[in-house]
């Protein structure tokens, strides 16, 4: 099953990067992670800048967010392989914070309960920290369940509190894959998990201290359902968008403030459509999905909803080499930015494509870079400036390294790539009266993590030792 933004492919993402790298070194993570600029003044003036984060281990970014002062926080993962004993290989979450002047303030790795911890995203917090979410491998009672997990870190990256869901499931699908900060200061996390032996989409609402307010599990038509993304509506409801595996269609869930599912319409389009993003616009929410057409071609879909959550338009965006979107950014004035890899057959031939869509749903600017994992995540910084985080091999050993790309679409516009994007309206049928099977509780379904369960290691910041950076030339676009 194609999952677009889905979480269980992230270890495979790193494996794909490693497959293209000659490095098999097993050195520990460097005492520093350094930021290496590779764009010259002409690149920056032309509307694009590229930087690498370089350390001793392979690494990749999968989420980026920025605070009001333009300091940014990046999350991702590092991988240290043990060729002699695979059980000793380490998969750590990585968080890097930069200053408004684009220098590394600190970098930390994180672990919860074992040797596998996968942070799939984060929510910026009012104190300058972040709420990390994803899944972790918990080692207890001779069992090794992978559980949806979350932890709050402060502005210095120090863990403060966290939790995991109680269900014991060993499957990469068990994860929180999206999170938002709510208007009351609390948080909501969504994802998927097995409940009572069946796969449900899940939403957990917690207050500003991490205390559970309610937990809901839902199934569209009582069929296998994944819940990919959420937003908060003006009336305080939480809107979720997911995927009904039996129907191969998207489904919406409107949760009231107390967690009750008010409606669950199905959006039917011919083909497979897996939602990868949900954003609020002035006219109503917009959904972006990764589509596998009946022909096998990959494309992006945008569905716009009105304030009553009814679909009002749908468009498909095809690219010459195919396109598999990873996410969407709302830029203001109804404009959107879609980004992700092209669908070249060989990993070495894949590229990363980003393009903006105006209020009339027409593509109006584009950026195309070498490598299929350059645009894993993106966020708006200021004005029209967009920041992307991802990964690309670097140096003579071609070690997978985190990459950051800054793009101003109004200045940098790849006309050849833009001409390769074709938009076409599509037919969508909405089944508004569909039912959802729901399991809802306000009792504790969360196991609180103690500080001893959330280990963290400082890998950059506070040390005078500087790492030896690889030699790099002008950025290859």
Tokens of 162: 């966290």
Tell me the pLDDT tens digit for each residue of 355-405.
Answer: 999 999 999 999 999 999 999 999 999 878 999 999 998 766 677 889 999
For residue range 68-79, what is the model confidence (pLDDT) as tens digits?
888 899 999 887
Q: pLDDT of 226-284, one tens digit each?
A: 999 999 999 999 999 999 999 999 999 999 999 999 999 999 999 899 999 999 999 99
- Report, as an integer, the average pLDDT of 337-349: 88
DSSP-derived 3-state class of residue 17: helix
Would 176 be classed as within a structural domain? yes
128/252 Cα distance (integer angstroms): 32
Q: Do 369 and 355 meet the contact criterion of CB atoms below 8 Å apart?
A: no
Q: What is the pLDDT of residues 416-460, one digit of tens each?
A: 999 999 999 999 999 998 888 998 988 768 888 889 889 999 988
Q: Looking at the DSSP assignment, which residues form a beta bridge with residue 6?
A: none
Which strands form 187-195's sheet, in the order they lie side by side?
175-181, 187-195, 198-206, 212-220, 436-441
What is the distance between the alpha carbons of residues 9 and 7, in angstroms, rounded to a whole number? 5
- For residue 40, CA distances in Å to 36, 46, 125, 203, 421 come to 12, 10, 34, 45, 29
What is the rounded CA–CA span in Å between residue 271 and residue 3? Answer: 13
More confident residue, 16 or 196: 196
- More confident: 25 or 380: 380
Per-residue model confidence (pLDDT) at position 12: 40
pLDDT value at residue 169: 57
Q: Which residue has the tokens 């459509």?
A: 273
User: Which pLDDT does position 447 carry in this prediction?
Assistant: 87
Is 423 within 8 Å of 363 (Cβ atoms)? yes
In the predicted model, is pLDDT for residue 29 greater than 80? Answer: no
pLDDT for 140 = 54
- pLDDT, one tens digit per residue, over 139-191 is 655 456 788 999 999 999 999 999 998 765 556 678 999 999 999 999 999 99
Residue 62 domain flag: yes
107: β partners: 96, 460
What pLDDT does residue 196 have?
A: 79
Asked, for residue 212, whether it belongs to a domain, the answer is yes
114 with 93: CB under 8 angstroms? no
Q: How many helices (H) and strands (E) does the chain have?
A: 3, 35
- Domain presence at residue 475: no
Residue 27 pLDDT > 90, yes or no?
A: no
231 located within any domain: yes
Q: Please give the Cα distance from 133 to 169 (Å, whole number).
A: 17
Mean pLDDT, range 19-28, rounded to an integer = 35
What are 379's strand-pairing partners?
Answer: 387
> Alpha-carbon distance 368 to 418, whole Å?
9
Percentage of residues in the chain having pLDDT higher than 70? 84
What CATH number does residue 268 fall under?
2.130.10.10
What percent of the chain stands above pLDDT 90?
58
Number of domains in the chain: 1
**Whole-structure pTM value:** 0.88
In angstroms, rounded to a whole number, what is the distance separating the alpha carbons of residues 385 and 375? 15
State the Cα–Cα distance between residues 210 and 151, nearest whole angstrom.
9
User: How high is the pLDDT of residue 41?
Assistant: 83
Among 286, 290, 277, 289, CA closest to 305: 286
Q: Is the pLDDT of residue 18 over 60?
A: no
CA angle (242 as vertex; 240, 245 as ends), nearest 5: 160
Q: What is the pLDDT of residue 402?
A: 92
**Residue 280 in domain:** yes
Query: Is 35 a member of any domain?
Result: no
Cα(369)–Cα(404) distance, integer angstroms:
12
Range of the domain at 342: 7-19+41-460
Q: What is the pLDDT of residue 103?
A: 87
In angstroms, the Cα distances linking 438 to 124, 132, 175, 228, 259 are: 29, 26, 18, 17, 10
pLDDT score recorded for residue 80 = 72
Please write the tens of the pLDDT for every residue from 277-301: 999 999 999 999 999 998 999 999 9
In a domain, 472, yes or no: no
Please provide the average confidence, as pLDDT, over all residues in the chain. Answer: 85
Query: What confidence tens digit (pLDDT) does each residue in 464-476 have?
Result: 334 444 444 444 4
Kindly indicate the confidence band of residue 217, based on its pLDDT and cuts at 50, 70 and 90: very high
pLDDT for the residue numbered 145: 73
Residue 152 has which token pair?
């709050």
Residue by residue, DSSP assigns 384-400 as T-EEEEEEEEETTTTEE
Please give the order of strands across the beta sheet that includes 272-281. 272-281, 284-292, 298-305, 311-319, 421-425
* Number of neighbouring beta carbons within 10 Å of residue 394: 21
Whole-angstrom distance, CA of residue 442 vs CA of residue 350: 46
DSSP-derived letter for residue 236 is S
Q: pLDDT confidence of 5, banded at 50, 70, 90?
A: very low
Q: How far apart are the first and last CA of the chain?
A: 31
Provide the 3-class DSSP secondary structure of residue 237: coil
309: left (phi over 0), alpha (psi -120 to 50) or beta: left
pLDDT of residue 25 exceeding 50, the answer is: no
pLDDT of residue 166: 77
> Is 347 buried (19+), middle (13-18) or exposed (0-12) by CB count in 10 A?
middle
d(CA 165, CA 173): 13
């Amino acid at each position: 099953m194609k999952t677009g933004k889905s979480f269980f492919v992230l270890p495979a993402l790193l494996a794909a990067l490693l497959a293209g790298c000659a490095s098999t070194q097993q050195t520990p993570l460097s005492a520093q992670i350094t930021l290496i600029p590779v764009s010259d003044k002409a690149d920056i003036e032309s509307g694009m800048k590229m930087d690498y984060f370089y350390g001793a281990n392979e690494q990749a970014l999968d989420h980026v967010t920025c605070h009001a002062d333009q300091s940014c926080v990046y999350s991702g993962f590092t991988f240290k392989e043990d060729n002699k004993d695979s059980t000793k290989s380490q998969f750590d979450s990585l968080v890097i914070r930069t200053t408004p002047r684009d220098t590394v303030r600190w970098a930390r790795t994180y672990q919860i309960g074992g040797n596998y911890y996968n942070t799939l995203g984060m929510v910026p917090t009012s104190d300058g920290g972040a709420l990390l979410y994803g899944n972790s491998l918990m080692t207890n009672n001779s069992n090794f369940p992978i559980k949806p997990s979350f932890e709050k870190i402060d502005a210095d990256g120090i863990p403060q509190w966290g939790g995991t869901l109680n269900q014991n499931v060993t499957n990469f699908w068990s994860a929180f894959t999206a999170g938002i900060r709510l208007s009351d200061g609390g948080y909501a996390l969504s994802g998927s998990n097995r409940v009572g032996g069946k796969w449900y989409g899940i939403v957990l609402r917690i207050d500003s201290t991490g205390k559970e307010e309610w937990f809901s599990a839902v199934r569209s038509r009582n069929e296998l359902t994944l819940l990919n993304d959420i937003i908060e509506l003006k009336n305080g409801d939480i809107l979720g968008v997911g995927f009904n595996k039996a129907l191969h269609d998207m489904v919406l869930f409107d949760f009231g403030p107390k967690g009750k599912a008010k409606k669950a319409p199905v959006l039917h389009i011919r083909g497979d459509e897996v939602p990868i993003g949900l954003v609020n616009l002035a006219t109503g929410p917009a959904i972006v999905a990764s589509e596998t057409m009946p022909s096998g071609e990959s494309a992006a879909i945008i569905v716009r909803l009105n304030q009553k959550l009814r679909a009002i338009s749908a468009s498909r965006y095809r690219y010459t080499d195919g396109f598999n979107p990873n996410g969407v950014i709302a830029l203001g004035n109804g404009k959107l930015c879609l980004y992700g890899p092209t669908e070249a057959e060989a990993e070495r031939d894949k590229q990363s494509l980003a393009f903006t869509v105006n209020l009339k749903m027409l593509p109006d600017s584009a950026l195309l870079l070498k490598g299929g994992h350059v645009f894993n995540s993106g966020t708006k910084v200021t004005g029209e400036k967009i920041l992307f985080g991802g990964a690309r091999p670097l140096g003579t050993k071609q070690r997978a390294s985190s990459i950051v790309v800054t793009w101003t679409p109004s200045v940098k516009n790849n006309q050849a790539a833009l001409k390769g994007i074709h938009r076409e309206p599509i037919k969508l049928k909405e089944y508004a009266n569909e039912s959802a099977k729901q399991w809802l509780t306000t009792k504790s379904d969360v196991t609180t993590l103690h500080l001893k369960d959330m280990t963290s290691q400082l890998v950059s910041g506070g040390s005078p030792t500087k790492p030896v950076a690889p030699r790099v030339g002008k950025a290859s676009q």
